[in-house]
Amino acid sequence: MRLTTERLELEPITADCVDDIVSVVRSNPAFLMLHHGSGERAQLLDREVLKRDIASADADPDLIPLVVRLRETRELVGWAELLVDHPRDRVPWVGLLELHADQHGRGLGREAAQAFLDWARHSGATALRLGVDDGNHSAMVFWTDLGFVPVDRRTRAAPSGPLGVTVLEHAL
């Protein structure tokens, strides 16, 4: 799948993107700690782990891992993951949107999010959902600014222990 916005191209992840994705992941240390914990996985989040993750996503037809590139230069500036049909909520989910720290605050996240909403709308879904981990205040501001509203509270197993998650929804 490929999504195009004014400045971005979102296209399938391939194994040769791994080094650039590692740069994106390492540029956001606070998100890395929150998302993967401070333990073994954060330490191990290197090329081999990412390659394994990409391969396992390939095996799941409901998962759509994407890289985010600037259209003008083809520079890889982020990555994302969409879930076609969340098994519990029965609507599509944004599993991940992460941009390189150097690119934050330029409106690129907003463009990608609008493309996700258009994709979900065109697929016939009634809503798009995602989860924001407790502690990720900037992501909460980002998504709610785009019109997402809290609809549920859940807990997920993070490496550091159970972590609270707010489920946000944008009706379509």
Give the span between the Cα atoms of 90 and 92, in whole angstroms: 7
Q: Which residue carries 């490929």 as its tokens?
A: 2
The correct pick among 109, 119, 127, 166 for binding ligand COA (CB under 6 A) is: 109
Give the span between the Cα atoms of 121 and 114, in whole angstroms: 10
- The answer to whether residue 104 forms part of the interface with ligand COA (CB under 6 A) is yes
What is the distance of C-alpha 166 from the center of its chain?
15
- The answer to whether residue 86 forms part of the interface with ligand COA (CB under 6 A) is no
- The answer to whether residue 135 forms part of the interface with ligand COA (CB under 6 A) is no
Q: Minimum distance from CB of 4 to ligand COA (Å)? A: 17
- The answer to whether residue 147 forms part of the interface with ligand COA (CB under 6 A) is no
Q: How far is CA 29 from CA 23, 65, 97, 105, 137, in A?
A: 11, 21, 15, 17, 15
* Closest residue by beta carbon to ligand COA: 109
- The answer to whether residue 21 forms part of the interface with ligand COA (CB under 6 A) is no
- The answer to whether residue 14 forms part of the interface with ligand COA (CB under 6 A) is no
